[in-house]
Chain A
């Protein structure tokens, strides 16, 4: 994967494209913990009353 050529499509000069550690168990574990927290938050938020007319109070929407 050499990119000496400027026409190479690999955007080395753009802002850092993360090296996403797809195989790193530690990174995945950390990500899963964060995602668990996010999902918890979103479920609880969905159950709260909305101030708008369209109250999301119907339990049907949840738990599916």
Chain B
């Protein structure tokens, strides 16, 4: 009996057109962590607005002839001095936390414990910046409108540029406090997503 020669069909080899690529390194296939990026962006905004507020208020000096030259500076009011000091502290601490967040974004997982403490700094900074904004805002409002009941006259008609600088600085610090609220909210939201249902 004739045995059928076994047809050895060579297994069809899929032609590998390109040589096998090396497996991609595992650290490159990570999805973007939107929370960390938004964290860094918000902190940078807080630092920038604190810096702008301090600079604008420090350079707000105006001299008017009434009849002798009388300057208007931020050092003449304790509330404005407190504003500059508080926003400087806020800028310094927000710079530190920005650098920390940026470092954690570049090298993820390195210092998660320290990053989780940043939220305490954020909450404290919010209190400080809010109180400084309120203090400077109330003094500027009296300078703008005056108060006839206690005989405090308005000064913004005389010192227009000074009042404009003050108003701009306070507006920017208000923006900084809103950014701080968003920052804390972001941290709370990212913490709550990790809680098992």
Q: Do A and B assemble together?
A: no
